[in-house]
Structure 1
């Protein structure tokens, strides 16, 4: 799979079955075409559920008159996911039309930029939220945890994410292939694809994962050290902290690990099997699902969201519900 025949290295467009068929004699074109036709429906469901869930999260946060630090992070996370989900119909349309892009070069660049920017923004916000949780639990008297400072941090995350999409702005374009116009990342050769894939995986997955794991481990260490000192008084809080920590890390790993692992494997995979193509497209679907699962997790496990949506007076803030994050 060369750089010019692989999509976005590769996210908004999926692998082209006709290209793979020519490099692998045993490739079943009918099977993979049928398999690919499933994805528009899956993406449509993810988009619909995600827009509703993120809309409810945004409403729940806005409904709180006195916002806390965690509310700002959650609000920005929901906005980032919502922006991505609002451009997903363009990708769905391209899949339904067998990868044909009809919206022009400007919209092609815009959709791909929003797509990739969402990855960096979401991971960035989750990372700084982890650091904030560490400070809140280990250094609760810190004067840096203010609403104003939190807004500045989130603005820097958005700015950093936008700057990280500069390569996407340069390479995303409409390319004419086999009498079709396709929106894709048109990289000049295997070497460019190699560096872009490493760029995306290191900055969008490996470094954030190291930071998240480090700060969650330090937070858990502090929690269980406190339990040994005060015994049962914080046992409930500790169990809840452990559960939420494992849930957030598991969600991050399940949704993004397959995508980045397969991206790296794809660099040296010149003769992809049908199983690899199935795994490749499923990994893309999992990465997309992160924008839908994020708000659902908050709506299910953060009690104050449900209380706000039901217009009940919540004695505690959302920050308390997320204090174990």
Structure 2
């Protein structure tokens, strides 16, 4: 799987040699225009009478068009999505089936929420796969594009926050066992899950308020989310919105997860018992989390900085590849949860750091 990621990144570095030889057609070069957050930039031209009124026509540069129709975008990226779908959907459905019969287990609520968000993310990729394989031509309409876009990004952030909640519960169980015993774990798990889903359902509302599909001028191609125009009034708030979403959806939970796993590993190392397997498993889970979610979020953030300071959107090429790692994490979550569950129950008891005992079954 990591080999696939390496191939995608190398392909992006040499994207000029991987682009299709198809002629860009009758598109005309345009002077520099104000840029749009997150996606490629373009200029709206007069709407042709042959096109639907609710589907504006976009004029883009040859470089953007060639990348959009190149091998990286139409073959390599969808191939990675297909791999994630084939592994992730069955494994997450299996997790949901197993957890459905364990309603009394408080930890199962958070894992159930994580599996649902991962499953919805992978399901949304099915239409994205068709879009990429169809030469980045969206055929499902404006509303479907908005739903898929909101589902994709919303569930990425829901997955990150579900990991944060699970890690916090593990932290309390290991480092503060007496507090964990007094805690109403089922109540906390339910409200944590509901809060995460409610927050990001609201946070995705702007995706339904902006135009997501545009017909490319001179070509029979309709883009979905990847190419947008800067409209002074309707899109002015998108840069602060996207930056706030990155801070809330990734930076904040990543800081919490880093502190939590660091504290767990530190305290387990100080324990008189041998917890090497659990430490290795926790390190593995944290390392994969960082590797899958950090590249896309960092590039996403730098993209806005560069867009705001230099009016350049070239980092979006790299973001489209890096975001594939998020889909890989969604198919790895069931296996990582299994690893932690097995390691946390491999010992008869977990010694707290006040020389007290805590049952391993209570560890998330």
TM-score where L is the length of structure 1: 0.76
Check 1:31–1:138 CA distance in 2 against 1; reply closer, same or farther (3 A cut).
closer
Superposition deviation, residue 81 in structure 1:
0.5
**Which residue of 60, 63, 79 maps to 2:98?**
60
| SS of structure 1 residue aligned to 2:183 | coil
In 2, Cα distance between the equivalents of 1:212 and 1:118? 18
Instruction: Report the counterpart of residue 48 of structure 1 in structure 2.
Output: 86
Check 1:218–1:108 CA distance in 2 against 1; reply closer, same or farther (3 A cut).
same
Superposition deviation, residue 176 in structure 1:
2.5
Instruction: Report the counterpart of residue 36 of structure 2 in structure 1.
Output: 3
Instruction: Report the counterpart of residue 181 of structure 1 in structure 2.
Output: 222
Aligned length: 288
Superposition deviation, residue 130 in structure 1:
1.5
Q: Deviations over 1:180-233 (max 9, x none)?
A: 3222174536965532442232112111111111222333333334x1xxx2xx
**Which residue of 157, 170, 184 maps to 2:196?**
157
Which segments of 5 or more consecutive residues in structure 1 lack a partner in the other structure?
A: 9-17, 305-314
**Which residue of 177, 181, 186 maps to 1:147?**
186
Instruction: Report the counterpart of residue 207 of structure 1 in structure 2.
Output: 252
Report if aligned partners of 1:173, 1:184 keep a CA contact under 8 Å in 2.
Answer: yes
Report if aligned partners of 1:4, 1:188 keep a CA contact under 8 Å in 2.
Answer: no
Report if aligned partners of 2:138, 2:223 keep a CA contact under 8 Å in 1.
Answer: yes
In 1, Cα distance between the equivalents of 2:133 and 2:82? 11
In 2, Cα distance between the equivalents of 1:271 and 1:214? 35
Instruction: Report the counterpart of residue 210 of structure 2 in structure 1.
Output: 171
Which segments of 5 or more consecutive residues in structure 2 lack a partner in the other structure?
A: 1-33, 42-58, 350-358
Report if aligned partners of 2:110, 2:166 keep a CA contact under 8 Å in 1.
Answer: yes
Identify the structure with bigger relative contact order (alpha carbons < 8 Å, sequence gap 6+). Answer: 1
In 2, Cα distance between the equivalents of 1:20 and 1:289? 31
Report if aligned partners of 1:205, 1:260 keep a CA contact under 8 Å in 2.
Answer: yes
Report if aligned partners of 2:131, 2:138 keep a CA contact under 8 Å in 1.
Answer: yes
Check 1:150–1:172 CA distance in 2 against 1; reply closer, same or farther (3 A cut).
farther
Superposition deviation, residue 256 in structure 1:
1.3
Report if aligned partners of 2:95, 2:115 keep a CA contact under 8 Å in 1.
Answer: yes
Superposition deviation, residue 170 in structure 1:
2.0
| SS of structure 2 residue aligned to 1:134 | helix
Report if aligned partners of 2:281, 2:339 keep a CA contact under 8 Å in 1.
Answer: no
| SS of structure 2 residue aligned to 1:171 | coil
In 2, Cα distance between the equivalents of 1:262 and 1:282? 10
Instruction: Report the counterpart of residue 90 of structure 1 in structure 2.
Output: 127
Report if aligned partners of 1:302, 1:322 keep a CA contact under 8 Å in 2.
Answer: no
**Which residue of 195, 207, 214 maps to 2:240?**
195
In 2, Cα distance between the equivalents of 1:103 and 1:83? 18
Report if aligned partners of 1:69, 1:145 keep a CA contact under 8 Å in 2.
Answer: no
In 2, Cα distance between the equivalents of 1:87 and 1:30? 23
In 2, Cα distance between the equivalents of 1:5 and 1:220? 37
Report if aligned partners of 1:61, 1:67 keep a CA contact under 8 Å in 2.
Answer: no
Question: Bigger radius of gyration, 1 or 2?
Answer: 2
CA RMSD for the aligned pairs? 3.3
Instruction: Report the counterpart of residue 257 of structure 1 in structure 2.
Output: 294
Q: Deviations over 1:60-84 (max 9, x none)?
A: 22244x6422211111100111111
In 1, Cα distance between the equivalents of 2:297 and 2:278? 28
Higher helix fraction: Structure 1 or Structure 2? 1
Q: Deviations over 1:97-146 (max 9, x none)?
A: 22221112221111111111102211111111121112112222332243
TM-score where L is the length of structure 2: 0.69
Check 1:141–1:271 CA distance in 2 against 1; reply closer, same or farther (3 A cut).
closer
